[in-house]
Chains A and B, each alone.
Chain A
């Protein structure tokens, strides 16, 4: 018994674009009205949401800063990619991107591998210390970074001797507790019939984990990846503390350094700050666009019918 089967008779469940109709019995006019309203609200919301980002992109493309209302609709003559060229010239973009990739990749790896195991154990298994571990996870979520910053730095840089290393950068973020929480919640809400059936068949816990739980965890995995990605990608303070060698600094740090020194040399320092932010944001948005396609219903409930 592996993946859940789709229920017979529901036609094209595989079609990812098919909306979930709330009112099956189409009332024609009413449904179209409602859909129009929903689309309208969504569109307005999207415009409001995107506007600051749009403003950011536009401002980063300007030759001389135009901070008035008209700045939102720039004259073609005022547009330039100078700010981006400047960034590329001032910092080693590819090296920084690579460092960011290693940092974020390490965190994702740790979270996906050990976080899933931990979340599964916390959700499904009874073992000594489960309550303590859950409380500890909650505590880690709640405690702000500023409280632990200096002792953490002393621990990792001095006691573990990991200053100026990738491992030192990754370590405090290695297993994202929010992701563990998400995995735990996800496993908790899986129908227990799936697991009971496995137990009745005499499967060991490991077997259950491998054959049933893991194949099902994909939606939670996607969510966790998308959410865990942002933290290390945008993180400035910790990598900055832990490494001074420019060759090892991730993009967020290089950009922050650049921002603090860019005032003097460019025509539009404001624009170059924003150009930096756009550069930092683009890979994250791209990743999201790739992954979000997979947010579709998995027909989990119907799989239980066995």
Chain B
């Protein structure tokens, strides 16, 4: 039984690995060379296009955004020079004491709590089911993928109609329908967005899991069943560990997508929702940075958001990689 097949990153720096020899032969030259460029310097060459891409496209805007967050900055036409005084942490102070900004971070928190577990559970479950079902498999796969593919603008219009106070959903629910209807209800607005985004993005994550499931060897399932494991036990002991890498990716992407939510609150709840109950940090960044011409505070919000997301992502990484060593 090939046990190592599903175990992921075996460290490549095996002490016995002959790859340490590199392009040349001598050991003394290897150490200096290796120290300068790493054990497989060909990697620099292979990764160079991607690295250059990042440097050329994103380094300037991201660096500039960080720079703006520490100054009093606004965009000007070329040739127009205005002072951009360094203001230290003032923008951050303004932003972190603004109740609207804090509320928007709270809304994202609610969103993530609802969306992320639901996404992981549903997408894994559906991927497992779609990997198995025989009849109509193509139809099912397409059905779950279609919302992901459709442009938000149009699909939002349909949801707006479905969830109006006289819409289909309320007509079915009858007396159970909430009184300010779903999308204009301060309590329900953000959960509705969470539901919408889960529905819309599920196809993406199902796809990730489907691909990962292809690499779980059948022998594991067979040996599990030989050992007398039922379907659920098999799922827990074979499938879930087998797709751990994919789960880590799904978690990361779900968190990042959720934290950067902009289009859905903008479209679904008319730019901020009932009394600002569904604002998000990126929505505020758009309003302040692009509409109101205050990119410095917008960048401060952005930097805070990025830091928070990185922290959450790193925590997530720690949790999912604990058994890898």
Chain A–chain B contact at Cβ < 8 A? yes
Q: How far is the CB of B311 from chain A (nearest CB, A)?
A: 11
Closest to B168 in A: A69
> Are B150 and A281 neighbours in the complex by a CB distance under 8 Å?
yes
Cβ-based interface call for B65 (8 A): yes
> Are A289 and B142 neighbours in the complex by a CB distance under 8 Å?
yes
Query: Which parts of B171-216 form the interface with A (CB within 8 Å)?
Result: 171, 199, 202, 204, 207-208, 210-211, 214-215
> Are B225 and A23 neighbours in the complex by a CB distance under 8 Å?
yes
> Are A151 and B61 neighbours in the complex by a CB distance under 8 Å?
yes
CB-CB nearest 10 A-B residue pairs: A277-B154, A301-B217, A125-B43, A148-B61, A118-B50, A127-B43, A127-B38, A301-B5, A46-B143, A147-B302
Contact segment of B81-89, B99-107, B113-121, B130-138:
B130-138
A241 to B109, CA, bound (A): 32
> Are A149 and B299 neighbours in the complex by a CB distance under 8 Å?
no
Q: How far is the CB of A269 from chain B (nearest CB, A)?
A: 11
> Are B208 and A46 neighbours in the complex by a CB distance under 8 Å?
no
> Are B130 and A42 neighbours in the complex by a CB distance under 8 Å?
yes
> Are B140 and A142 neighbours in the complex by a CB distance under 8 Å?
no
Q: How far is the CB of A151 from chain B (nearest CB, A)?
A: 4
Which B residues lie within 8 Å of A22 (CB)? 132, 221, 225, 231, 234-235
Which A residues lie within 8 Å of B235 (CB)? 22
Q: A148-B65, A270-B157, A293-B138 are in contact. Are A178 and B253 (CB under 8 A)?
A: yes
B positions within 8 Å CB-CB of A: 2, 4-6, 8-10, 12-14, 17-19, 23, 36-44, 46-47, 49-51, 53-54, 57-58, 60-62, 64-65, 75, 78, 126, 129-135, 137-155, 157-159, 161-162, 168, 171, 199, 202, 204, 207-208, 210-211, 214-215, 217-222, 225-226, 230-231, 234-235, 245-246, 248-249, 252-253, 256, 259-260, 262, 282, 285-286, 289-290, 295, 298-299, 302, 305-306, 309-310, 313
Q: How far is the CB of A30 from chain B (nearest CB, A)?
A: 9
Contact with B along A190-224 (1 / 0, CB 8 A): 01110010011010111001000000000110110
Cβ-based interface call for A133 (8 A): yes
Interface size on A, residues (CB 8 A): 125
Q: How far is the CB of B257 from chain A (nearest CB, A)?
A: 10
> Are A302 and B217 neighbours in the complex by a CB distance under 8 Å?
yes
> Are B62 and A143 neighbours in the complex by a CB distance under 8 Å?
yes
A positions within 8 Å CB-CB of B: 10, 17, 19-25, 34, 38-39, 41-43, 45-46, 49-50, 52-53, 55-56, 59, 67, 69, 72, 110, 113-115, 117-118, 120-130, 133, 136-152, 155-156, 158, 171-172, 174-175, 178, 180-182, 185-186, 188-189, 191-193, 196, 199-200, 202, 204-206, 209, 219-220, 222-223, 226-227, 230, 234, 236, 252, 255-256, 259, 270, 273-274, 276-278, 280-281, 284-285, 288-289, 292-293, 295-302, 304-305
Select one of A52, A128, A147 contacting B36, CB under 8 A. Answer: A128
Closest to B132 in A: A19
Select one of B37, B61, B143 contacting A155, CB under 8 A. Answer: B61
> Can you report 20 A-B residue pairs in the complex whose CB atoms are below 8 A from each other?
A21-B221, A39-B135, A46-B144, A53-B146, A118-B46, A118-B49, A121-B43, A127-B40, A127-B43, A129-B44, A139-B58, A141-B256, A146-B302, A147-B61, A147-B62, A186-B211, A189-B215, A252-B151, A289-B138, A295-B214
